[in-house]
Amino acid sequence: MDQSRGGGRSGRWQAWATDHHGEPGKLSKTQAAQVAKAFADKYFRDSVTGSDQVTRPIGGDADAAYLVTFRRYRQGVLMPMRLDFTVTRAGRIIGFTSKTVKDPALPQAAVPRRAALEQAARTAGGKATNAPLMAKQVGGQWRPLWLVGANNTDVWLDAVTGA
């Protein structure tokens, strides 16, 4: 596998097989999830603990594979850790990316989703369509922010102050 590790305070890891194409096989979505979970439990236990796992198919028939993601939420806020695996239908992990970040302490969000959608729509001059609540560093401090898609752009809105 080709591998690299990014710098910074949080651990960022990624690796891809030199032959990183999907391959024929009979692995089901559930089995692909189990392959990724076993690897993650062994090498990324801190990221897996308390996270939600989602598996979805990717690619076409000949090179089909599964993308298995792990994400963690605290009080409805998506935490900054990321863990993703690409698993072929033959059961081979052909790549992964990881961002290991401890869950930050966040102030309580006060701006409801509906208000965030309305404010972002006014700011962007169009209809707001999506609004996940995410932990993001702003000026060196972790904050809960709404990431609102509006009028083909993204609007970040502080979920504590509304700014």
Average pLDDT over residues 88-106: 92
Q: Say yes or no to pLDDT of 4 above 80.
A: no
Segment 103-147, tens digit of pLDDT: 999 999 999 888 888 888 887 777 878 888 999 999 899 999 999
DSSP code at position 111: S
What count of Cα atoms within 13 Å lies in the side-chain half-sphere of residue 73? 7
pLDDT on residue 113: 87
pLDDT on residue 119: 83
The token duo for 63 is: 């090179």
pTM for the whole structure: 0.81
Segment 37-92, tens digit of pLDDT: 999 999 999 889 999 999 999 877 656 899 999 999 998 999 999 999 999 999 99
CB atoms under 10 Å from CB of 79, counted, come to 20
pLDDT on residue 134: 95
Give the highest mean pLDDT range of 5-14, 60-69, 153-162.
153-162
Measured CA to CA, the distance from residue 155 to residue 161 in angstroms comes to 15
Q: Which amino acid is at 160?
A: V
